[in-house]
Amino acid sequence: VCVLFPLQKAMFVILLLLQISISEAFTFTITPIKRIYKTPLIATTTSLNERNDNDNERSQTWNNDGGRVFVRVERTFPNISTPGEALDGWMEHHWNRGGGLPIGVVIQPTDTTQNDNVAIRSTRMLYPLFMEEELYSSKLADVRSVSYTVTSAGPTLGDMVPQSHEGDVRFESRNDGKGIHMTWDVSFDTTRLASFYQAVTEFTIGIAATTVTDALALPRLLTLRGTIPSPTSSNFSPQSVRAEWLAFIWGKGGGLPLPPAVPTGEFLDLSVCLAGVKESVFRFPPFMTETIVSTSSGGDADSQGAGAAEDSVDLVFKIEDPGWSSFPFAVHTHLSKVEFSKNTKPASTLDNDNNNNVDILWKIQIRSFPFMAPIVEPLCTAVASTLLRNLAVHIAEPGAVVSLGGTSWVGTIDTGTSDEATGLLGVLQDAATGMRGVVPKNTWMGGVLEARRRDDRGSGEQFVSLLQPWTWGRTGNGVIDEDEVTFQWSDGCID
């Protein structure tokens, strides 16, 4: 990631700097290629002075002539109901976050009224181009359109005529009632290489429009279910499991083979979690920040009297500004909700013969980059299911360890002072018989070793599994009664 992300930016800059190496003695002829888009796209490639009703394709000649560049891109958002919602999506995913292009964006809000009809909403600087843009609305009360202009082209785009850039984005309800239609026009004058800038603008605006469309599409929803068996503790409840989730998964990484997360922000209320847990964490890799959006409680606590535990509690968190920086978890949007509730099964049907278990319902809503979906969805499934399994072990088998030697020996290192020596002695005695060490069972590696110890599949299936590291330690496939954690993908949003 450290190499790939800067290289993407460098390639984009090299593309724009090609103008420097184009000599007046050379002329390049390019024949337009028809592209297939999943959503409607219209790109106007003629200059403003030559625009007419003739839409026939024609070849373009790259030469040193200047002129007017004009590009129009149109998209439809079938899942958006109002123009204002579509505009908010464009602002969030293009203006604030770069529209999927390998650029950095620094926003400088202004909200300064210039006159009765024009209000500057914000300015932004694009890196590494050092281009400055200013966004404004033509009418103060109009939420259906915005306009923007380049106030400084930067050192790499010196061919752009100052004060000539015009960008206009309009959102309108479709006549057939099927979503919102966006029309995006961009035009500017150049002193030379008009055809080159025409092609570059078509490419960049096309990518940005596609990014906004993907980010406003119907999301994918992963639903996971699991049950945390009750230990002997008398205060086991949905609240206590949520506190353990925050301490073990949120604060300590849940046993995944990754560096520790860096906590940031304010400390969470002690009524929600254990001491020392903050509202945000920065994880690397991937390079992303997760933030707790809300926590809430429900159930019949009031009917049971003051201080009674609620039947259910939850928490909601999201990834802040996901995208290329969170590769391979390349998504446009992310939202997760984890619900903790009392298990309602009869005690006679449970392994531990009590009805004090806690059910976890974890929903993850994402809009991934389309070409990354085959990687993102299995990765998301593997990570979330592993975290739930590790949490169950962490609560039900505190201190459990697994042999690195692949033996069936599983020991326990107790946290209590009186029994700690006995637990360590068991580890040392097993090491003397050839064991090469132990790892905690509530980790990804511990799950892999434990699954290997219990694996009774044929050698063919084991070999195939060896080539799928995301399945290591996971004997089930998400189907009820075959795995302690069940999961399912669908289209939709979190309730």
**Is residue 466 assigned to a domain?**
no
**Is residue 319 assigned to a domain?**
yes
pTM for this structure?
0.74
At position 330, the amino acid (one-letter code) is A
Q: Which helix (H) or strand (E) holds 166?
A: strand 166-173
Q: Residue 287: which CATH number?
A: 3.30.530.20
Q: Are residues 187 and 295 in the same domain?
A: no
**Is residue 443 assigned to a domain?**
no
**Is residue 468 assigned to a domain?**
no
Mean pLDDT confidence for 414-434:
40
**Is residue 233 assigned to a domain?**
yes
At position 316, the amino acid (one-letter code) is V
**Is residue 188 assigned to a domain?**
yes
Q: Are residues 169 and 46 in the same domain?
A: yes
The tens digit of pLDDT for each residue in 178-196 reads 899 999 999 999 999 999 9
Q: Are residues 107 and 65 in the same domain?
A: yes
Q: Are residues 298 and 364 in the same domain?
A: yes
Write b or e for each residue in 322-356: b if 16 or more Cβ atoms lie within 10 A of its Cβ, otherwise e: bbbbbbebbbbbbbbbbbbbbbeeeeeebeeeeeb
Q: What is the pLDDT, as a whole number, of residue 271? A: 76
* Alpha-carbon torsion (283, 489, 208, 334), positive or negative: negative
Q: Are residues 60 and 167 in the same domain?
A: yes
Give every CB contact of residue 37 below 8 A, 6+ residues apart in sequence: 210
Are 105 and 321 spatial neighbours (Cβ–Cβ below 8 Å)?
no
Q: Indicate the residue among 199, 215, 231 that finishes a domain.
A: 215
* Alpha-carbon torsion (383, 384, 385, 389), positive or negative: positive
Query: For tokens 């302690």, what's the residue?
Result: 484
Write b or e for each residue in 168-179: b if 16 or more Cβ atoms lie within 10 A of its Cβ, otherwise e: bbbbebeeeeeb
Q: Are residues 265 and 200 in the same domain?
A: no
The tally of domains found in the chain comes to 2
Q: Are residues 85 and 172 in the same domain?
A: yes
Q: 249-253, 298-302, 353-357, 380-384: lowest mean pLDDT where?
A: 298-302
Q: What is the pLDDT, as a whole number, of residue 448? A: 81
Alpha-carbon distance of 337 to 121, in angstroms, equals 33
Q: Are residues 71 and 200 in the same domain?
A: yes
Q: Indicate the residue among 215, 236, 268 that finishes a domain.
A: 215
Are 356 and 236 spatial neighbours (Cβ–Cβ below 8 Å)?
yes
Give every CB contact of residue 74 below 8 A, 6+ residues apart in sequence: 40, 41, 42, 181, 182, 183, 184
Q: Are residues 201 and 224 in the same domain?
A: no
Half-sphere exposure (Cβ direction) of 58: Cα atoms closer than 13 Å: 11
Q: Indicate the residue among 190, 215, 240 that finishes a domain.
A: 215
Which of 220, 224, 225 is CA-nearest to residue 333?
A: 220
Q: Are residues 113 and 180 in the same domain?
A: yes
**Is residue 454 assigned to a domain?**
no
Q: Are residues 177 and 272 in the same domain?
A: no
Alpha-carbon distance of 277 to 272, in angstroms, equals 10
User: Which whole-number Å values give the CA distances from 239 to 66, 306, 420, in the listed order?
Assistant: 67, 15, 28
**Is residue 433 assigned to a domain?**
no
Greater pLDDT, 202 or 396 = 202
Domain with 349, as residue range(s), is 220-396+484-491
Q: Are residues 86 and 109 in the same domain?
A: yes
Alpha-carbon distance of 392 to 226, in angstroms, equals 9
Q: What is the pLDDT, as a whole number, of residue 285? A: 82
The tens digit of pLDDT for each residue in 473-494 reads 554 444 433 457 889 999 999 9
